[in-house]
Structure 1
Amino acid sequence: MTPAPQSYFWSAAQHSCQIWRSVLGFTLIHVVFFAATFAIFMGGGWLIGAHPATILDGATPAHTAIFFLTFLGYHLGLWLVVRFLHKRSFLTLFGPQKRVLWRQFRIGILIALGISFAAGLLQMFEPLLIAPQDQTQLERNLPTREWLLILIPALILIFIQIFAEELVFRGYMLQQLRARFQSVWIWAILPSVAFGLLHADPSTWGINAVFYVIHTSVVGIVLSFVTLRTGNIGAAAGLHFGNNMSMVLMGNAGSLDGFSLFVAEVDLMGWTTSASMMLQTVLVLVAFVIWWKLTQRQAPIANAVKAD
């Protein structure tokens, strides 16, 4: 195993990248996460006078806020595992700079918004393809005044959530696996499929749960390459944040829509949802190919091609 240069994203994990340590760390992170989730759901349910099981639907701003607060458990689990199991700083998860490169974060947000805009334009042709009764219907979900009051707290909670997921899968797992293995199947595809499977929810999506898992897996693979290519968590986090922040404007009715100004009345198990997911997956791949071609003209910080 050839030591990576200090500027490489995974360099901090070189001294403790044993398989047993990585598996134990990943397990302990999730033990802490699930324990924190249980505590936050119980405490949150008690504070708002609701049964914890009803919070999962995210039907109100309070329910959705409690759901997103559970991701603090990921941050706590990561800090404990990295500090005591791997004997390194939590900040090394961000990259060798030990901080977020905010310019990359902002670029990531703009790219994600561009993908969403392109998807929205293409979906304008929906009336030409499906019957009127099957078309997506938008409804007001929250009064404007109430929505404006929760907007900033909602974005902060989404920020906590996306960084939790990015630091676990594109920070901890990517660093640990890339420091130990060169195969792209192990450091990019395997953890990304695991990331996708965590989003599986057949009770909500039906057969579209398969397309949802495929989409999140593809996005995970793309974000892994982006992270190694840039040498920092910032770009991947920006892409993730730019994608998730759209839920404060429009959400799917009945699925974590508590922060949404509008909700779309769609059949989450229908073929139009399947087509929408496949379209978004294709757009992500197209954007990635364009970005990859453009950035190959620059001097790499941590070129993932060397791992192939």
Structure 2
Amino acid sequence: MQYVAQEALVAPARVKSALWRLMIGLALAVVIYVAGIAALFALLVAISGWDGAQMWLVRMAEADSPTATLLVLSTFIGMGLGPLAAARLLHGRPLGSLFGARPRLLRHFAIATGICVLIYAIAALIPTGITPERNLPTGIWATFLPLALVAVLVQTGAEEVLFRGYIQTQLAARFASPMVWMLIPSVIFASLHYQPDIFGENAWMMVCAVFVFAMLAADLTAYTGTIGAAWGFHFANNCGAILIVGIEGPLSGLALYTLPEGVIAQADLGWMLAMDVTVMIIVWAVIRRVVGRVVV
């Protein structure tokens, strides 16, 4: 399969495409990510004192309240800044080359988000046999919603810039085969979602589902020449999982409803994940078809 549009993202990466630069760039990204968390902790110390900051760290580890979840999502600012710094300092790339042309990026983001909302709303009518429980009163949820949407936008944008905008394009600058530049970032992305403490024996099935998503997002990025469609796809997915129906436990603090953690860990999720992946592929196919008409 030819990905002509991706050349706009890959061409700047070819200038300094040595793999050692990518390795150091990823190390730099990790350092900046950790520095961002340290800066947040310092801010908490300044506001709440040492004991208060430690208390917030404990609450962030649980992330089962709105404010704690927002704080966790804010740590992704560092994740987003890391690849931008690496691209500029180690590869001499313009920062915009990790995103793609702005008008196209914004257009594709809006299209992908809208398609996701429509199809996922229809899919939500399919019975699953698991009944969500109310997590937050509607008034409190609505109060936090504007900040929550911005936080999820930042979180998903940071991951897209890192995995699709930076790692994928730097690998594509060195290797022609999509089996390298699509597969490697997708495997890394999926493996970071391995959570046996939440999903129990179903953890690897969840990893496989995330891997499928990552491959679809990689394809959208390569097909459109921006991270916009993949970002919109990711943003809509995470809004559903973090803000609408979350899983009881970490990152559930902003969800209107939650699914009991124990039920998710013990349930036979095979058919549910198969349905989710099927819907995900349908969404991807529709996004690809629609944005393919507005690639320019």
Could you say which TM-score interval applies, normalised by the shorter chain? 0.7 to 0.9
Deviation at 1:270, TM superposition (A): 2.4
Query: Following the alignment from structure 1 to structure 2, what is the Cα–Cα distance between the partners of residues 207 and 100?
Result: 41
Query: Are positions 1:281 and 2:286 aligned together?
Result: no
Cα shift readout 1:43-91 (whole Å, capped 9, x = no counterpart): 4477463251331221111110110010011122123212211122222
In structure 1, stretches of 5+ residues that fail to align are: 127-134, 302-308
Residue among 233, 236, 239 paired with 1:239: 233
The percentage of aligned residue pairs carrying the same residue is 30
Deviation at 1:237, TM superposition (A): 0.5
Deviation at 1:115, TM superposition (A): 4.1
Residue among 254, 259, 266 paired with 1:264: 259
Query: Secondary structure, in 3 states, of the residue corresponding to 2:8?
Result: coil
2:64 aligned partner = 59
Query: Secondary structure, in 3 states, of the residue corresponding to 1:9?
Result: helix
Deviation at 1:189, TM superposition (A): 0.9
Which letter maps to 1:285?
I
Query: Are positions 1:108 and 2:112 aligned together?
Result: yes
Provide TM-score, normalisation by structure 1: 0.84
CA gap of 1:184–1:20, structure 2 versus 1, over 3 A, is same
Provide TM-score, normalisation by structure 2: 0.87
CA gap of 1:137–1:38, structure 2 versus 1, over 3 A, is farther
CA gap of 1:6–1:281, structure 2 versus 1, over 3 A, is closer
Q: Which one has a larger percent helix, Structure 1 or Structure 2? A: 2
Asked if the contact 2:149/2:239 (under 8 Å) is kept, the reply is yes
Query: Following the alignment from structure 1 to structure 2, what is the Cα–Cα distance between the partners of residues 173 and 204?
Result: 28
Query: Are positions 1:16 and 2:16 aligned together?
Result: yes
Asked if the contact 2:30/2:79 (under 8 Å) is kept, the reply is yes
Which letter maps to 2:85?
L
Query: Secondary structure, in 3 states, of the residue corresponding to 2:254?
Result: coil
Cα shift readout 1:239-293 (whole Å, capped 9, x = no counterpart): 011111122222222231111122223512123444322321122223334555x
Runs (4+) off by over 6 Å: none
2:95 aligned partner = 90
Which letter maps to 1:60?
S
CA gap of 1:250–1:45, structure 2 versus 1, over 3 A, is farther
In structure 2, stretches of 5+ residues that fail to align are: none
Asked if the contact 2:115/2:286 (under 8 Å) is kept, the reply is no
1:130 aligned partner = none
Which letter maps to 1:179?
A
When the two structures are aligned, how many residues end up with a matched partner?
286
CA gap of 1:281–1:300, structure 2 versus 1, over 3 A, is same
Query: Following the alignment from structure 1 to structure 2, what is the Cα–Cα distance between the partners of residues 5 and 287?
Result: 21
Residue among 117, 121, 135 paired with 1:117: 121
2:34 aligned partner = 34
CA gap of 1:98–1:288, structure 2 versus 1, over 3 A, is closer
Deviation at 1:117, TM superposition (A): 2.7
CA gap of 1:162–1:281, structure 2 versus 1, over 3 A, is same
Residue among 249, 254, 257 paired with 1:254: 249
Asked if the contact 1:44/1:66 (under 8 Å) is kept, the reply is no
Query: Following the alignment from structure 2 to structure 1, what is the Cα–Cα distance between the partners of residues 151 and 83?
Result: 18
After superposition, where does 1:117-196 map in structure 2 within 5 Å?
A: 117-122=121-126, 124=127, 126=128, 135-196=129-190
Which letter maps to 1:11?
A
Which letter maps to 2:22?
S
